[in-house]
């Protein structure tokens, strides 16, 4: 029998904890969300993030730039936001004429709650996950909540993005897993995925992982989100899901955990700043 890793349930508990922390703070955390252009998915995600933040008592500001906005304007806005925000999110993808690396580099490391800057990537590489991207953090947190250890297991990650694939692989490695990363150029992909004790797929192609690609009783984490016939689908085919011992499905698995980890990072950034300010003033 397949056990569902209920990210929605776990995330709800985490969000309740965050809301309690926010209520105890003398000054509310501030989240700055930046969107450029009118990509429909970006509109949906930024609107949802703002609403979720406000539901927890976090102040949230959504700054929308037109698709033809000069790069300098966005960089200057981020530099200003560094002065007052506890967390800054630049919603990706950006319009193609913009230099993504330059824009993200304008975010101060302590404000990078989305884990997208080079500084954050280097921290993850060294085993410091405080500024890790929210989705990999959500994966690790969900596995931990179900007492699933990665130590000694073969983890296969399908996808090598900077946001999900690479940091997920590194975080699994620091939990003593043996890790393989597969991607679009991997030959005989099924030969690799069938070896996985834990399979994490972040491809974004509906039902990409079929039943013949996983071993019986594998633990499967579905991170891919796409549309098929007007419905949200994951990478994992339903027949493959039924072979798993545990599965984090789409929807209801890693998606809610990602939002929870993001907002937790905003509150932690505020608490960290408060503690730093007390130390500067010599207070206990």
Q: Which of 236, 7, 263, 25 is nearest to 140 (CA)?
A: 7
DSSP codes joined into one string, 28-85: --EEEEEEES--HHHHHHHHHHHHHHHHTT-EEEEEEE-TT--HHHHHHHHHHHHHH-
Q: Is residue 17 annotated as part of the catalytic site, yes or no?
A: no
Instruction: State how beta strands 231-233 and 226-228 pair.
Output: antiparallel
Cα of 142 vs its chain's centroid, Å: 12
SS3 track for 10-38 = HHHHHHHHHHHHHHHCCCCCEEEEEEECC
Active-site residue identified among 114, 197, 222, 235: 114
Partners of residue 228 on adjacent β-strands? 231
Q: Is residue 8 annotated as part of the catalytic site, yes or no?
A: no
Q: Is residue 215 annotated as part of the catalytic site, yes or no?
A: no
Active-site residue identified among 49, 52, 137, 153: 49
185 CB contacts (<8 Å, ≥6 apart)?
none
Active-site residue identified among 50, 52, 91, 197: 91
Active site residues: 49, 91, 114
């Amino acid at each position: 029998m397949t056990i569902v890793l209920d990210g929605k349930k776990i995330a709800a508990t985490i969000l309740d904890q965050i809301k309690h922390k926010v209520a105890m703070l003398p000054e509310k955390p501030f989240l700055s969300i930046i969107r450029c252009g009118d990509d429909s998915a970006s509109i949906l995600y930024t609107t949802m993030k703002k609403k979720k933040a406000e539901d927890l008592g976090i102040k949230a500001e959504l700054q929308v730039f037109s698709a033809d906005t000069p790069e300098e304007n966005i960089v200057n806005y981020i530099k200003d936001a560094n002065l007052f925000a506890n967390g800054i999110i630049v919603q990706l993808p950006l319009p193609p004429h913009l230099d993504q690396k330059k824009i993200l580099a304008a975010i101060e490391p302590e404000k990078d709650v989305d884990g997208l800057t080079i500084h954050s990537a280097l921290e993850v590489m060294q085993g410091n996950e405080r500024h890790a991207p929210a989705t990999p953090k959500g994966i690790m947190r969900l596995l931990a909540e179900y007492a699933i250890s990665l130590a000694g297991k073969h983890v296969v990650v399908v996808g090598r993005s900077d946001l999900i694939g690479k940091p997920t692989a590194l975080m699994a490695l620091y939990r003593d897993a043996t890790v393989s990363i597969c991607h679009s150029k991997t030959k005989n992909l099924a030969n690799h995925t069938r070896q996985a004790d834990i399979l994490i797929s972040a491809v974004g192609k509906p039902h990409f992982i079929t039943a013949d690609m996983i071993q019986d009783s594998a633990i499967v984490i579905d991170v891919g989100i796409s549309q098929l016939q007007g419905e949200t689908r994951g990478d994992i085919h339903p027949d493959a899901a039924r072979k798993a011992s545990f599965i984090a499905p789409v929807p209801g698995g890693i998606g809610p955990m990602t939002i929870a980890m993001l907002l937790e990072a905003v509150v932690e950034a505020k608490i960290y700043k408060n503690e730093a300010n007390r130390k500067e003033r010599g207070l206990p």
